Amino acid sequence: MKYMLMTFGEAAGMMAAKSPEWINEMIDFMRKVDQDLRESGELVDDNGLADGSTAKTVRWRDGVPVPTDGPFAESKESLVGYWIVDVENEARALEIASRIVAFVQAPIEVRQVMDAPPEM
């Protein structure tokens, strides 16, 4: 079963609040998680994302698509990175997310990736 593990936060705030040593430890930790998931064959894809302040959101208004600045209105936190893992069950996906949360202390949303419906 595939799951997407999405981590949320505010990159600029984290960079200001955390020490350079902690940032380096976090990068090393993330590389170790990636390596472990690659070696176990569970990693499908992963990436960090550019700061949410650079995001654009396209909404449908009055019959036309309208791009606006930012990931969501009235939100400082946004999606900062993700992993897509192919694991045996939800419990394993939650185990991986818990390992990451224990270090970064930021929320991670875990969602199953749905297969495409069969063609008709």
User: What would the two tokens of residue 19 be?
Assistant: 């020490």
Rg (CA), the chain: 17
**Reduced to 3 states, what is the DSSP secondary structure of residue 111?**
strand
pLDDT for 44-71, tens place per residue?
999 988 887 788 888 899 999 988 887 6
Q: Report yes or no on 82 lying in a domain.
A: yes
| Domain that includes residue 107, residue range | 2-112
CATH number at residue 26: 3.30.70.1060
* pTM, 2 dp: 0.82
pLDDT, tens digit (0-9, with 9 covering 90-100), for 16-37: 788 899 989 999 999 999 999 9
Report the number of distinct structural domains present in the chain: 1
Strand-by-strand arrangement of the 2-9 sheet: 43-48, 78-86, 2-9, 108-112
In a domain, 80, yes or no: yes
Q: Is the pLDDT of residue 12 over 90?
A: no
Q: What percent of the chain has pLDDT over 70?
A: 94
55-to-30, 64, 108 alpha-carbon distances in Å: 23, 20, 19
120 in any annotated domain: no
CB-CB contact of 29 with 20 (8 Å):
no
CA angle 100, 89, 99 (to 5 degrees): 10
